[in-house]
Amino acid sequence: MSEGRVLAAVAAGGAAGSLGRWLVSLAAGGAVWGTLLVNVSGALALGLVVARLEHGEHHPLLRPFAAVGLLGGWTTYSTFALDGRTLAGEALPSLLGYLAATLVLGLLGALAGLLLGERLWGGSAPQAAAITEEEL
pLDDT digits (tens, 9 = 90+) for 75-102: 999 889 999 998 998 899 999 999 999 9
* Burial 65-100, CB ≥16 within 10 A → b, else e: bbbbbbbbbbbbeebbeebbeebeeeeeeebeebee
Residue 57 pLDDT greater than 90, yes or no? no
Mean pLDDT of 43-60: 91
CB proximity list for 4: less than 8 A, separation 6 or greater: none
In the prediction, which pLDDT does 136 show? 47
Mutual orientation of helices 3-27 and 32-53 as an angle, nearest 10°?
150
pLDDT digits (tens, 9 = 90+) for 111-125: 999 999 999 988 654
Domain total of the chain: 1
Whole-structure pTM value = 0.82
CA distance 69 to 75: 10
Mean pLDDT of 56-66: 91
| 103 half-sphere exposure, CB direction, 13 A CA radius | 8
- % of the chain at pLDDT higher than 90: 72
Nearest alpha-carbon partner for 129 in 115, 94, 40: 115
Cα-Cα end-to-end distance for the chain: 11
Give the structural domain span for 97: 3-135
